[in-house]
Amino acid sequence: MKIAAWSGPRNVSTALMYSFAARGDTDVRDEPFYAPYLAMTGIEHPGRDRILAHRLADPCAVIAGLTGSSPHLYLKLMAHHMVEGIDLDWAADFSHLHLVRHPARVIASYTARSESPTLEDLGYPRQLEIFERFGGLVALSSDIRAHPEAMLRRICEGLGIDFMARMLSWPRGGHPADGVWARHRYGSVDATTCFAGAEGDMPDLTGHDADLCVDAMAYYDALATHRVAVD
């Protein structure tokens, strides 16, 4: 089974990658198109030079390397990394999982670090395009955090693989498959051994952030209407 797990940033995508890695029968890949995205857009991200030095920047070379030796292959993918010029035909052979978080929470996470994302940075428009092309399962990050076992069972069922209880926890300290950007972004999740609990109250946004949330909600709602629900 080859799984393409799509999400935007500031989600529980890293924790879900750790969950699948904990199965023991799954090879995981951490954002394989990050370096091509940086090289093709010229965008400055923390650790850009190091990422380009340690990861393949040619998307064709990345696609050729999307293989594994275990029964299952799990790709953690950022939808907005799939910029114009990166062929998506490779994804036709994958089963697709879409992880989605409410825009207000994603935007609040950005602003907590004094960052100002664009709608494209949030990934929702591209993720919806990918969903409309390939379909797949849609899971809300809030549902996974609130009901991890029930949601993992539903996700595994939808993917056609067995649920394993070992998916509910993982070793502290990250995973060998983590990208070289982990030290900039994975500090909190690397300290965990399981999914965080249910999220608190929805953050209040104002000004530009509130307007951005309104723009993102149309894409979020279009994806969320297909979500896998907890029984």
Q: Amino acid identity, residue 122?
A: L
Tokens of 33: 């198109």
pLDDT digits (tens, 9 = 90+) for 72-131: 999 999 999 999 999 999 999 999 999 999 999 999 988 877 678 999 999 999 999 999
In this prediction, residues 169-186 reach a mean pLDDT of 67
Residue 180 has pLDDT above 80, yes or no: no
Give the pLDDT score at 121.
92
- Identify which of 88, 53, 100 has the alpha carbon closest to the alpha carbon of residue 225: 100
pLDDT digits (tens, 9 = 90+) for 135-168: 999 999 999 999 999 999 999 999 999 999 999 9
Neighbours of 9 (CB within 10 A): 18
The sheet carrying 95-100 orders its strands as: 26-30, 72-78, 2-7, 95-100, 137-140
Give the pLDDT score at 155.
97
- Residue 198: pLDDT band (50, 70, 90) is confident
Q: Amino acid identity, residue 149?
A: E
Give the pLDDT score at 149.
97
Report the alpha-carbon distance of residue 202 to residue 215 in Å, rounded.
17
Place of tokens 């790709």: 75
pTM, two decimals, is: 0.92
Report the alpha-carbon distance of residue 114 to residue 189 in Å, rounded.
20
Tokens of 126: 């591209």
In this prediction, residues 62-76 reach a mean pLDDT of 94
